[in-house]
Structure 1
Amino acid sequence: MRAFRSLSGSELRLLFRDPGSLFFMVAFPAMLLVLNSGSDDLEIFVPGYLAMILAIGGIATLPAVMGTYRERKVLRRLATTPVSPLVLLTGQIAAQLVMGLAGAVIVGGVAVLGFGVAPPAHPAALALAFVLSALMCYAIGFVIAAVAPRARTAELIGLLVMFPMIFLAGAAIPREGLAGELREMGEYLPLTQAVTALRDSWAGTPSITTFLLISGIIILGTALAVALFRWE
């Protein structure tokens, strides 16, 4: 437990010292919220921005970090110490979750306190949707890290997966504003389920079906990551 706390704290400090992660996971979504503050249905944007924060951290940032650790032999060195590489992985998840939560609190606070958006109607369901959506993004990120041979490749694949997904899934732009063909494409994306779960939970109408779908994606992604992942 002490090793986990130490590593997760170290990973969190590294994330907060990374200007890119700090901007895109904390500042950028809040900026988008301000830019769209004139919309009559601003409450539709907020859950999507929460999903975008998690996608940026889990699908774009996490694979690059893990690829760097593998490339620099960090994971192999840890395997020879009492600290298991698994501790590093869970520490990275914890750090990503804290960073994502920080971004979510800022976006939610700006929306509710700054622009009068109604607070979440079902906070418990929203918290569950947030955690499940985060784990889903991390599972996808670990699959990318598993198949990418190098850190730069992992970063590139993560960005190529993340950017189209946040637009087609309704994280950056509500899916109601997409053309019919693009909206239909988004139906099959994992992040769409996260946006739906967060939006429904915020509105007070959570769906157990959506939670089950996200859980299934987490299980599948984790199984693939475990089967494909190499420590070096």
Structure 2
Amino acid sequence: MKAFTALTATELRLLFRDPASLFFMTAFPLMLLVLKRGDSGAVPGYIAMIVAIGGIGALPGIVASYRERKFLKRLAITPVSPVMLFGAQVVAQVVLGLAGSALLVVVSIVGFGVEPPRNLPLLAAAFLLCSVMACSLGFVIAAVVRNARGASLIGMLVMFPMIFLAGAAVPRKALPDALRRIGDFLPLTPGVDALGGGWSGTVAVFPMVLLAGIIVAGTAAAVALFRWE
């Protein structure tokens, strides 16, 4: 437990010192909120975007950079297991995502008069599932793409189209039918739906079950494919 706590604390410090992660997971969603003039319907989607930026966009490059610098090889001879490393990364990403999401929610309510979420526990559960799901996909990318530059590039190439087609950056109803049909099959779409349900107070059972299934499948694939070097 001490090793996990120390590893998690280190990952948190590194994330909070990363200007790119801080900007895109805190300031960038606020800029979009201002442009949307506090559109209440956009807030759950922006929360999904925050966790996707961290888990899918940033995390693969972080893990791959550890591999390139032989940090993972050194960890392999310590009590730190891949599961422990994955857990520390997930906690760090969830905490930073939670900070960015909380800031977004407070600004939307206080600054733009958006109605508060009707079911906060349900919203929190949806947030946690969406965050872990994004991280599981990020670990799969990091397991398959071994170098930091390639993993970062693939993570961004996966994340950016997904946040638009899944309804995180723009409402899906604004997309053409063909693009909406593509979005039906993206793993971030149930995250947007689950967060929207939590915000409106509606239990989105099927999207949350889908998120749980993606987490199980993604984690299993990442553990099976992951190599220390």
Contact in 2 for aligned 1:75/1:85 (Cα 8 Å): no
> Is 1:3 aligned to 2:6, yes or no?
no
The answer as to 2:81 corresponding to 1:114 is no
Distance, in Å, in 2 between the alignment partners of 1:140 and 1:88 is 15
Q: Which residue of 2 aligns with 1:201?
A: 198
Aligned residue type for 1:44: G
Q: Is 1:60 aligned with 2:64?
A: no
Q: Which amino acid aligns with 1:18?
A: D
Q: Compare 46-55 and 205-214 and name the one that shifted more.
A: 205-214
Aligned residues: 229
Q: 1:142 aligns with which of 136, 139, 142?
A: 139
CA deviations on 1:64-107 (whole Å, 9 max, x unpaired) are: 00000111111110111233343232111111110000000011
1:142 positional shift: 0.5
Match of 1:78 in 2: 75
TM-score (norm 2): 0.97
What amino acid sits opposite 1:183 in the alignment?
A: R
In 1, the alpha carbon distance for the partners of 2:223 and 2:4 equals 20
- The CA RMSD measured in Å over matched residues stands at 1.1
In 1, Cα distance between equivalents of 2:47 and 2:182: 21
The answer for the alignment partner of 1:46 in structure 2 is 43
Distance 1:76 1:109 in 2: 42
1:35 match: 35
Alignment of 1:179-218 (within 5 A): 179-218=176-215
In the alignment, structure 1 segments of 5+ residues that lack a partner are: none
Counterpart residue number, 2:218: 221
Tell me the TM-score normalized by structure 1.
0.96
